[in-house]
Structure 1
Amino acid sequence: MIRALLLLALLCASPAAAQNRAQVEGQFRTWLEQSIWPAAKAKGVSRRTFEGAFDGVALDWDLPDLVPPGTKPPKSRPQSQAEFGAPARYFSRGALDGATSVGRQMARTHATALAATERKTGVPARILLAIWGRESGYGRAAIPHDAFRVLGTKGFMSTRAAYFTQELIALLQIAEAGHAPSRAMKSSWAGALGQPQFMPSNFLEYAADGDGDGHADIWRSEADTIASIGSYLAKHGWQTGRDWGFEVTLPASVSCTLEGPDQARPIRDWAAMGISRINGKPFPDHEARAKGSLLLPAGRNGPAFIVTPNFYVLKDYNFSDLYALFVGHVGDRIQYGMGDFTAPWGKVDSLLRSDVAAMQTALERLGHDVGGADGLAGFKTRRSIGVWQESRGAPATCFPEAAMKSALR
């Protein structure tokens, strides 16, 4: 009986829902004409490009975070986050082995393009490969969405409409320049384009022509993809000749509260404190003289690293410690045949972002700089936890724990 009533309700609601969607589709076309076209025209986009981009394009109602006209933004839901829930998941056996084995194949297949980009930008081929592999499986991952449909929908009715509207204008500029046919310009569900997963504004600033045909086709050209990744990293400050970092042994005498790029010091000073490379080799002379930072992505519950400024350039590509660490590690595996990190990822408590945000808010009330109560356990949050632990006479682990929820109120 209940199922029959639910079915009847759905059938009765469907015509109205369809009518409402039809009305919103009409408003979308009006918005494109009255808002997007003038803005695009001012950026040099032709009417022909504009009409070709949106020919047959309708709203994508399956995208997340949509706010159709006349509705209120959805309430935020508690979210779990791998960065503080279980960092080891980011380094799964399949992900590491797949990125490494295919990366070695790609290193041979695209040796010329990789060498050319390394000469021009100073970014090592292994790093170019690792980012390419992480972003799109070396171009093998499906990138199924029509970029104009995605960004049109998000610009018209999403929780970040203003941001996506600007990205939509940038996408039209890319189409106007003829880098690829409009229907070939595929994106992720978030609007990131092609094999290197650039947002359109990043494409305009960093995309590069690697094959010499006058275009930066990051959808269909491997050479352009490689050159564009190198361009991005070089323009974000990649330091030629320096590594990204080293796995190290962290003595108990060195506090985990010393983590972070704002506490960088010459690597030889870290060595004088008893920090050594996990493989027993000394730090290279040129690295020992230069500055490095302590990185503890899982606090005392996982591997420790001394990282260079290049690590934070990798974070500019994707703002995540684990992303940058994965890229650096896979690059080393591709070129040097390195194995897994020597130190294991220890077991950590699985927490919701809302739990971590509550801890951050409590730490802020105590005067700690946690980098914002965003529910993400970045280095400022990790070391603030360590300082708080030490102030209570407890060993510093520098990582969120379930027991802290009640202690930090």
Structure 2
Amino acid sequence: MPKLVAALKCLAAMAVFCLPFLLAGPAAAAPSKAETEAQFKTWLDRDLWPEAKAKGVSRTVFDKAFSGVTLNWKLPDLVPPGTRPKTPKKQAQAEFGSPGKYFNAKTMGAVTRGGQARHSQYGGLLKRIDKQYGVPGAIVLAIWGRESGFGAVKIPYDAFEVLGTKAFMATRKEMFRGQLLAALEIVQKNYIDTGSMKSSWAGAMGQPQFMPTSYLEHAVDFDGDGKRDIWNSVPDTLASIANYLRLHGWQRGRDWGFEVIVPAGLTCALEGPDQGLKIADWARMGITRVNGKPFPANELAGEGYLLMPAGRHGPAFIATPNFYVLKDYNMSDLYALFIGHVGDRIAYGAGDFKGAWGNVGTMYRSDIAAMQRALQAKGYDVGKADGLPGFKTRRSIGDWQARHGQAATCFPEKSMIGAIR
């Protein structure tokens, strides 16, 4: 009898649990594109407008910015109302190869030649910018060339269409909402008109590819016409790039770094911006410049950092704090190295890297991530176990190799797959 009572209670509980789902009927279909467009217009008026108004944006500016703007369904990472984010494709089979692939000879050559031509064309302008912001013209030109092909790359999108779409239904809506409000602030303050607000598919604007918040902080009017025009004005574009670097800590009079030779007996595990030494100390440890020249006298007392993007399989560098200012522009060691190296080519006619980018073999990111997790389990700080070997992963690998009687290369090796236990 108790078993029967218990069974009846169980059935009753199941009925109570299931009843709401039975009454609810089939799941509602996601709204159509036309319905979503209508929701977008409502969202602009009832959600975004009150916040824009509170930030000082006029209704005239708001309406002009969104006049004719519709959702751009071709943009990536969209999550329309009534749908769920798509499950990201697994990175298990994504490949990771030599960092040397980043330094495509054709791209580097084009930026170098274009920079050298413009170094002569805008020599006076670059000197004035260097005097005011303390950033060498060759570095500014390298960024300009890398970001927009010296202004030749077409920037096709309406910034309000891109940012509006992403603020309404992207995977990072809140981030893009902040950028959209900043874009409205730009036109409210008459820095530029709405018709000139062209961006990339990600919302980066103008020839320096600033996001709107970065524009507000860094863009300057260097040609004196009352506009901060990073779309059409070369003086505004170049000065804005220099101002960005200055505000991020560029040290006037210092280089970005030097390609060096690291003695075989010196561990590559000394790499990283958290293991800085005076450049004079690196020299005393036997590190020399590849061109045979001594480190500049004005650099010897300054801090420097060992940088080995491919471990012992590629060139090595002593980077200065200015290298990490360049990294702030794009959050990539390889980007910063590209800019610094091409800057040297533009300014001094420097040649290619002296150290060769070795063929480390292509590996799956999942294999590298497994190495990282195994090292973490042993107490190593590898940064993120994301399958990308940053400096913390590289030096952890070097330490592990040395402790196991191997030659430290400070870079993932195919032979290490499954070996770290």
Same topology, TM > 0.5: yes
CA offset at residue 80 of structure 1? 9.2
- Does 2:411 align with 1:399? yes
Q: The residue matched to 1:292 in structure 2 has which SS?
A: strand
Measure the CA separation in 1 of the matches of 2:379 and 2:139: 39
Q: How does 1:123-272 map to 2 (within 5 A)?
A: 123-272=135-284
Measure the CA separation in 2 of the matches of 1:403 and 1:44: 60
Answer yes or no: is the 8 Å Cα contact 2:78–2:166 preserved in 1: yes
State the partner residue of 1:110: 122
Measure the CA separation in 2 of the matches of 1:402 and 1:41: 57
Residue range with higher mean Cα deviation, 229-238 or 27-36: 27-36
Answer yes or no: is the 8 Å Cα contact 1:170–1:204 preserved in 2: yes
Change (3 A) 1:81 1:313: farther
- Does 2:353 align with 1:341? yes
State the partner residue of 1:119: 131
Answer yes or no: is the 8 Å Cα contact 1:86–1:348 preserved in 2: yes
Answer yes or no: is the 8 Å Cα contact 1:78–1:354 preserved in 2: no
Measure the CA separation in 2 of the matches of 1:98 and 1:183: 31
Answer yes or no: is the 8 Å Cα contact 1:84–1:377 preserved in 2: no
- Does 2:342 align with 1:312? no
Q: The residue matched to 1:281 in structure 2 has which SS?
A: coil
**CA RMSD of superposed structures (Å):** 2.0
Change (3 A) 1:105 1:228: same
Q: How does 1:268-307 map to 2 (within 5 A)?
A: 268-307=280-319
CA offset at residue 142 of structure 1? 1.5
Q: The residue matched to 1:263 in structure 2 has which SS?
A: coil
CA offset at residue 37 of structure 1? 1.0
Answer yes or no: is the 8 Å Cα contact 1:248–1:275 preserved in 2: yes
Change (3 A) 1:119 1:185: same
| Structure of larger gyration radius | 2
Answer yes or no: is the 8 Å Cα contact 2:94–2:364 preserved in 1: no
- Does 2:109 align with 1:97? yes
Answer yes or no: is the 8 Å Cα contact 1:84–1:400 preserved in 2: no
Answer yes or no: is the 8 Å Cα contact 1:210–1:227 preserved in 2: yes
Residue range with higher mean Cα deviation, 396-405 or 112-121: 396-405
- Does 2:55 align with 1:38? no
- Does 2:386 align with 1:374? yes
The normalised TM-score by structure 2 is 0.89
Measure the CA separation in 2 of the matches of 1:283 and 1:82: 40
Answer yes or no: is the 8 Å Cα contact 2:30–2:83 preserved in 1: no
CA offset at residue 84 of structure 1? 5.0
Q: The residue matched to 1:289 in structure 2 has which SS?
A: coil
Deviations 1:224-258 (Å, cap 9, x if unpaired)?
Answer: 11111111100111011110000001111111100
CA offset at residue 404 of structure 1? 3.1
> Counterpart of 1:298 in structure 2: which amino acid?
A
Answer yes or no: is the 8 Å Cα contact 2:30–2:81 preserved in 1: no
Query: Any runs of at least 4 consecutive aligned residues in structure 1 with deviations exceeding 6 A, and if so which?
Result: 80-83
Measure the CA separation in 1 of the matches of 2:181 and 2:233: 23
Answer yes or no: is the 8 Å Cα contact 1:78–1:352 preserved in 2: no
- Does 2:36 align with 1:24? yes
Change (3 A) 1:138 1:222: same
Measure the CA separation in 2 of the matches of 1:164 and 1:353: 29
The normalised TM-score by structure 1 is 0.92
Deviations 1:342-367 (Å, cap 9, x if unpaired)?
Answer: 11110123234444333322222211
Q: Quick one: percent identity of the two aligned structures?
A: 60
Measure the CA separation in 1 of the matches of 2:415 and 2:222: 52
Change (3 A) 1:399 1:120: same
Answer yes or no: is the 8 Å Cα contact 2:93–2:366 preserved in 1: no
State the partner residue of 1:7: none
Q: The residue matched to 1:306 in structure 2 has which SS?
A: strand
Change (3 A) 1:100 1:380: same
Change (3 A) 1:81 1:286: farther
Residue range with higher mean Cα deviation, 180-189 or 195-204: 180-189
CA offset at residue 107 of structure 1? 1.4
CA offset at residue 373 of structure 1? 2.3
Q: How does 1:359-370 map to 2 (within 5 A)?
A: 359-370=371-382
CA offset at residue 402 of structure 1? 3.2
Answer yes or no: is the 8 Å Cα contact 1:83–1:322 preserved in 2: no
- For structure 2, the 5+ residue unaligned runs are 1-28
Answer yes or no: is the 8 Å Cα contact 1:82–1:89 preserved in 2: no
The alignment of Structure 1 onto Structure 2 pairs a total of residues equal to: 394
Change (3 A) 1:241 1:260: same
State the partner residue of 1:9: none
